[in-house]
Amino acid sequence: MELLEGLLTRRSVRQFAADKKVSKKDIEEILKAASYAPSAHNKQPWEFVVIEEPEKLAGFRTVQPWTSFAKNASCVIVVCGNTDESFHREKENETWNFADVDCSLAAQNILLACHAKGLGACFCGAAPMPLVIDGVRKYLNLPENIRPLAIIPIGYPAESPKQPENRYNPAKVHWENW
């Protein structure tokens, strides 16, 4: 698949073929694609938790209510940021951390790699929702410095989501100045 075509045709998939497992080789290639994402200061602060156990997949809805369809996925990849290793600053007049941004870029690579392989996937949010962050931390036994950013159910698609009308709106583009 050509890259630009893939960017335009990727859609969130929430229905998966129950009987088809995504291979470990595919999961590893998807995670390799994630690891080539850009990151602030090239810190690559991501960590990935891969879940395949059916009961654990079904339980995601207890910590993030809009992930109920994860129960039919072949696996879930939780993209997390290591907030100690990410490019960050903590001073009295300046506090910031690029972990969420870096992990968002890694997550998009996961979605696109799935699409390129004919797999379906959907980004489900965790950070910055404090209750979801806490819930996922407890659910997966994550340390305090590991911040879950995305819960991504993956599987062979059992639906073909409608492609949208043109999403490009030239009125949102501001040349030279607002």
- Assess 126 for contact with ligand FMN (CB under 6 A): no
- Whole-number Cα distances in Å, 120 to 110, 114, 137, 158: 10, 6, 25, 8
Shortest spacing between CB 64 and ligand FMN, in angstroms: 6
Q: What whole-number distance in Å separates Cα of residue 40 and Cα of residue 116?
A: 26
The residue among 27 and 126 lying less far from ligand FMN, judged by its C-beta, is: 126
Instruction: Find the length of the chain.
Output: 178
The angle at the Cα of 82, spanning 81 to 83, to the nearest 5 degrees, equals 100
Q: What whole-number distance in Å separates Cα of residue 122 and Cα of residue 124?
A: 6
SS3 79: strand
- Assess 14 for contact with ligand FMN (CB under 6 A): yes
The residue among 77 and 122 lying less far from ligand FMN, judged by its C-beta, is: 122
- Assess 123 for contact with ligand FMN (CB under 6 A): yes
The residue among 27 and 103 lying less far from ligand FMN, judged by its C-beta, is: 103
Tell me the per-residue interface mask from 103 to 122 with ligand FMN, x by CB under 6 A, - otherwise. -------------------x
Q: Please give the size of the binding site for ligand FMN, defined by CB under 6 A.
A: 10
Phi, psi of 95 (to 5 degrees): -135, 120
Exactly one of 58, 66, 100, 116 binds ligand FMN (CB under 6 A); which one? 66
The angle at the Cα of 114, spanning 32 to 23, to the nearest 5 degrees, equals 75
The residue among 91 and 155 lying less far from ligand FMN, judged by its C-beta, is: 155
What is the binding site for ligand FMN (CB under 6 A)?
11-12, 14, 66-67, 122-125, 161
